Structures are given as C-alpha cells and as structure tokens.
Structure 1
Amino acid sequence: MTVDPELLIHRDADDLAFSVAARMITAITDAQSTGGVAEVVLTGGRVAARIYRAVAESPARVEVDWQRVEFWWGDERFLPPGNPERNETQARDALLAHVDVDPARVHPMPADTGQSAEAAADAYATELAATISALNDEKRRAVPAFDVLMLGVGPDGHVASLFPGYPQLAVTDVSAVAVHDSPKPPPTRVSLTLPALDRSREVWFVVSGDDKADAVATALAEGDVPAARPKGRNRTLWLLDEAAASKLT
C-alpha cells in the first residue's frame, strides 16, 4: 500500500538538516523498538552531509543502538575507494566514523578498483538480496523492505542516479544497475533501480535550494520526472526548505 505524499517545509537548509536529523534518530529507534535491526538507505549531496553531521552531534544519538542499524546507499559515484566525491566517503566522514556502527552492517556500493560498473552493480544486488532474505527469515517479512529510504532530487528531477530518459528507469528485474554518460560528473555510477527504491516503508525526499524548485513542483504534480516515481509503502515525505518549495502552488 502507498499513500499520498506529505509535504513539510522548513525555513532554510540548516533548519531542514536539524529537523531531518531528529526525524532520522526517531525513525531508527522506532524500528529497533521490537528488538530488530533498522534498515536505512542513505543518500548524498550538500544537504545530506549537513543531516549526517547533525545526527552525529545530536545528544539524542545515544538513544540509537548503532550496532543494530543496517546502512545501504541508493546510488554511488563509481570512483576509487576513499574519493571525497563518493557518497560513502561523505557519510563516513560526517556520521559513521562518529558512532559505534557494526562494520558488517555497513554496505557501501563497490568502488572502482578495476572491475566494471556492471560487475559492481551485480555484486551490490547480490549482497542486498542475501541480506534482506536473511532479515526476512528473522522477521518473517513477506516483502523485502527498508525502514527509511532517503533521496535527494536533482534540478532535472533525477533521483539516485536514475536520470530522465535513461534506460535504467525501465529496469525491473534487478535491484542495482550501472549508469554511464551521466549528465553530471562523474559519468559512471551505480544506482538502485525503481523497484528497489519502492521497497521502503518510508521514502523521504530531502531537498534544499531554489535550483531544485522546478523539479520539486513537477514531481509533486506527478510530472514526467524520475522523482515522481518512488513511493513509500507506508509513508512518502517531501522534506523541503522554503527555497526548494518556492514553485509550489
């Protein structure tokens, strides 16, 4: 089941980041309240880094059992390990290095170490399937699901690394794909597919800046952009600052 998107507008990027950080801590603790593991999909970008720093600096972070959080990524720039442009590097620097995570529960997308992006996507899809299957056995879930999936939105309406008009939007038989000739650098990426993005109980679109305003308005009007497609099974949240919401009617 999916429900209509909910819209929450914040004063500016800092207000947005602190609000989402508090929401993230609450969502994780709620997911852990029955003794299970929280499944969280991270995003990248300028506001994501602020969110992760706010989580790491929040006194409430002690309420989370970080050993029982499984971290995934929605997409990744296919660059060498440790490259500062990788979403993984950003998240590790801002959050994961500052909380007591279980390294075995952190699942970065493969970096470029000489293999192809296609091989990296296949490896990630295999890892995701194996982990989610094991968790389903433990929790008796009928459908693979993340607890929270965070997504940014590009000025062209892309989400993860699924760009308007690209063939990866039509892929339904695998969870992760390689993306070449990205319209923004770097040109090669790995991304979850739309069916994989739709496996989340809650989908959070976190968007800041007036350069995203047209894309936000188009997506919320169910226009023909990738950002209009992912929906949470229980909840879809659009978490915006005033600049990103400025074209909404």
Structure 2
Amino acid sequence: MSAQLHVSPDRAALVADAADRLVRAIGDAITARGRAVVAVTGGTVGIELLAALVDRPVDWSHVHVTWSDERFVEAGSGDRNAVQAREALLDRIPIPATHVHELPAAGSGTLDQAALQATALLEHLGGIDVTLLGVGPDAHIASLFPGLPGVAEAGARIIAVRDSPKPPPERLSFTLDAIAASERTWLVVAGADKAEAVRLALSDAAPSEAPVAHARGRVETLLLADADAASLVA
C-alpha cells in the first residue's frame, strides 16, 4: 500500500499541519501506552517541524526521542541532527534528559561499533510510535541512498553507512525494515526540487532506484507535502 498523500498550500502550512498531527499522535500514544516514542529527522523542514512543537501542548514527561539517522561526526558538531534538534526543540522544553536517546557520535569507537550500539538502543526503546523522515531530491530517506548497499540491508536495525553522496560520508541509519517496524511513518517534504522524489514515493520503483517508495509504517504511512513538492502528482 502506498503512502497517503496530504498536500498543504505552502511550506509554512505544511510545517503547521505536520506539527498538529504529531501532537495528536503523541497524545494518542501516551493515552494508549503511557508514553510516546518518536524518531525524528534532520534537514531544513525536519528542524522547522521540531521548532514548531515548542509551544504546542505536549506532555513531554512521557515522550522519548531518538533519530532515524545521524551523521557520524563528533558529538558537538553542528552537522549532527541531534545538535540541531536540541537547538530547535529539545533544550527548550521540559523533556527528561534520560528520554533523549542520541545515536553514537564519532570519537568513542568505530562506525560499525556505533551501529551495534545504536541497534541495541533501538531494541531497548521497544517500538517507535512515529518515525519522521525527510526526502532528498534523489529520493533518499534517512541515510538510505539510491544505489548504495544500505537499501538492501534486512532487519529492523540501525546500520553503518559509508560513502554517502552527501557529506559527511559516514552515517548511521534505520534500515527499511526498521522504518517499517514503526507504528506510523511520515514523510515530510517541501520544495519544487523534491517533486520528482514525491512522484517516485507513490510509484512502484525499486528500492535501489527510490528508497522513498518503500518507506512504510505498520498502521499508517503519510506523505505530507507542500504544493510545490506535490506538483507532479496533485
């Protein structure tokens, strides 16, 4: 089943819509299970979405946050999704420090060791309620890029990614199976340069051509786009 497409008129409306949906999903998870686990993403729109949550009514004491991918650089590097997320949201809300589960940074071991540690963290969390994903113009999601071996990796785990076509070259990423293990998977995408990727997201393209076409959630898969990004399909 392909993703359900929802189109907002512009980028600001997209971010507001995604924030409203996420607040509701977090509330539903807390009501059902006593907590919510969200895997967030980086990228411009992903960080704008996090910033939009600062003043939203969320019971952060029952929310756990991790990342669907991360750049394998030093812990304090501005390239890390976690650093950007802290600046946009996490350092501005009353979320317990023990509820923020960063993926390993460079400097304390190898990339392969970091992937094993991150996988253990993912298993410890015991299920993701919402996985947020950005989409690249090349139809990549998380750090799963067309033509690279990561798209063929099986198992609900976090893998080492080398030779990323976008710097930095070394990264950690959910596999497609890890994404599919999430209760809900949401693709949040804006801009005319993403229009072809959005078209591919709704196609039957192979994972090696368009990883985005294989982003799925267990019970819900949403493609949230602005009008520019959806121009080839809406």
TM-score normalised by the chain length of structure 2: 0.94
Give the AA of the match of 1:239: L
Report 1:160-175 matches (<5 A).
160-173=142-155, 175=157
Contact 1:14 1:50 in 2 (8 A): no
Equivalent position of 1:29 in the other structure = 27
Q: Which residue of 2 aligns with 1:226?
A: 211
Instruction: Mark the runs of 5 or more structure 1 residues left unpaired by the alignment.
Output: 133-144
Alignment of 1:103 with 2:97, yes or no, is yes
Q: Where does residue 246 of structure 1 map in the other structure?
A: 231
Report the Cα distance in structure 2 between the residues aligned to 1:247 and 1:19, rounded to whole angstroms: 21
The 2-side partners of 1:4 and 1:182 are apart by: 27
Cα distance, 1:18 vs structure 2: 1.2
Q: Distance in 2 between matches of 1:172 and 1:221?
A: 21
- How far the C-alpha of 1:35 sits from its partner, in A, is 5.1
Q: Structure 2 regions of 5+ residues with no counterpart? A: none
Instruction: Name the SS of the counterpart of 1:178 in structure 2.
Output: strand
CA distance in 2, matches of 1:151, 1:210: 18
- Alignment coverage as a number of residue pairs: 231
- Note if 1:182 corresponds to 2:164: yes
Matched, 1:49 2:47: yes
1:129 aligned residue: 123
Rounded to whole Å, the distance in 1 between the matches of 2:140 and 2:182 is: 18
- Opposite residue 119 of structure 1, the aligned amino acid is Q
**Could you give the per-residue CA deviations for residues 118-138 of structure 1, whole angstroms, max 9, x where no partner exists?**
111110101221331xxxxxx
Question: In structure 2, how many angstroms separate the alpha carbons of the residues matched to 1:34 and 1:116?
Answer: 38
Displacement of 1:173 after TM fit?
A: 3.7
Give, as a single letter, the amino acid of the residue that structure 1 aligns with 2:40.
Answer: L
- Deviation for aligned residue 1:4: 4.2
Q: 2: distance between equivalents of 1:105 and 1:5?
A: 29
| 2:41/2:47 contact within 8 Å kept | no
Partner of 1:117: 111
Q: Choose the corresponding residue for 2:220, options 219, 232, 235.
A: 235
2:10 alignment counterpart = 12
Deviation of residue 148 (structure 1)?
Answer: 0.7
Amino acid at match of 2:66: W
**Dislocated runs of 4+, deviation >2 Å:** none
TM-score, with normalisation over the residues of structure 1? 0.89
